[in-house]
Amino acid sequence: MPQSYILVINGKPEGPFSMDELKAKKIKPGDFVKTPEMDDYKEAQEIAELRELLGFAKPPLLMQYFGSFDQRLLASFLDWFIVFGVFVIIIFVVVIVFMQDKENRIVVSLSLLACVPVAKFIYHVVMESSASQATFGKQMLKIKVVDMHGDRISAGKAIARNLCKIFSVMTFFIGYLLAFFNKQQQCLHDMMAGTVVIKERLF
């Protein structure tokens, strides 16, 4: 069944109207609409179906929705804690419980700890390109990674973003501080990968 929309006209909701009726009313991108199933009104340009059928451009992300540097920093600490904690548990179970030789314990423990950065890289790529669009740390802070249009990023873009963090670190972490000097609060790796961190909201 074709979707119908309630349209706000002169401050009052009217309808529902079919798509043909909306076209006849020549609605604008900023007009507020909702379907009977939606909880609240959205601008017409925010709804993918209306953008496609009426030729609206997707609206730019608003500044108040960008994740702040302190949110991202705390999320990073949480993610390091989570990944490192998992490896500590693995070391305890595998090394302490099942291995008796002291030297082997040390070698295996150090080898496992050396895998933490690689595991964290994979963790970020998988989580940021998933449906949640965020690591567990970011989810706790209610922020997520999107592309420049606010859409979910692909695994390829997630890989590029996390590889580019090397450059943010190589600049003596100045690449991270760039977030303070641009409106979209992007770090260097975000600029290079074409991503942005935003606060959770409905699109």
- pLDDT of 41 reads 87
- pLDDT of 202 reads 45
The pLDDT of 12-30, averaged and rounded, is 87
Q: Are residues 74 and 152 in the same domain?
A: yes
Q: Are residues 84 and 39 in the same domain?
A: no
Q: Are residues 81 and 162 in the same domain?
A: yes
The pLDDT of 80-106, averaged and rounded, is 89
- pLDDT of 116 reads 96
pLDDT for 121-163, tens place per residue? 999 999 999 999 999 999 999 999 999 888 899 999 999 999 9
The pLDDT of 168-192, averaged and rounded, is 94
Q: Are residues 38 and 104 in the same domain?
A: no
What rounded mean pLDDT belongs to the chain?
90
For 90, the domain range is 65-199
Kindly write down the DSSP assignment for every residue of the chain, as one continuous string.
Answer: ----EEEEETTEEEEEE-HHHHHHTT--TT-EEE-TT-SS-EEGGGSHHHHHHHTPPPPPPPGGGBPPHHHHHHHHHHHHHHHHHHHHHHHIIIIIIT---HHHHHHHHHHHHHTHHHHHHHHHHHHHTSTT-S-HHHHHHTEEEEETTSPPPPHHHHHHHHHTHHHHHHTTTHHHHGGGGSTT---HHHHHHTEEEEE----
Q: Are residues 122 and 172 in the same domain?
A: yes
Residue 203: which pLDDT band, with cuts at 50, 70 and 90? very low
Q: What percent of the chain has pLDDT over 70?
A: 95
Q: Are residues 50 and 69 in the same domain?
A: no
Residue type, 118: V
Q: Are residues 124 and 165 in the same domain?
A: yes
The pLDDT of 95-108, averaged and rounded, is 84
Tell me the C-alpha distance between 102 and 187, whole Å.
Answer: 44
Q: Are residues 149 and 76 in the same domain?
A: yes
- pTM: predicted TM-score of the whole model, two decimal places: 0.73
Residue 1: which pLDDT band, with cuts at 50, 70 and 90? low
Nearest Cα neighbor of 200 from 75, 13, 87, 33 is: 75
Q: How many domains would you assign to the chain?
A: 2
Question: Within a domain: residue 165?
Answer: yes
- pLDDT of 62 reads 63
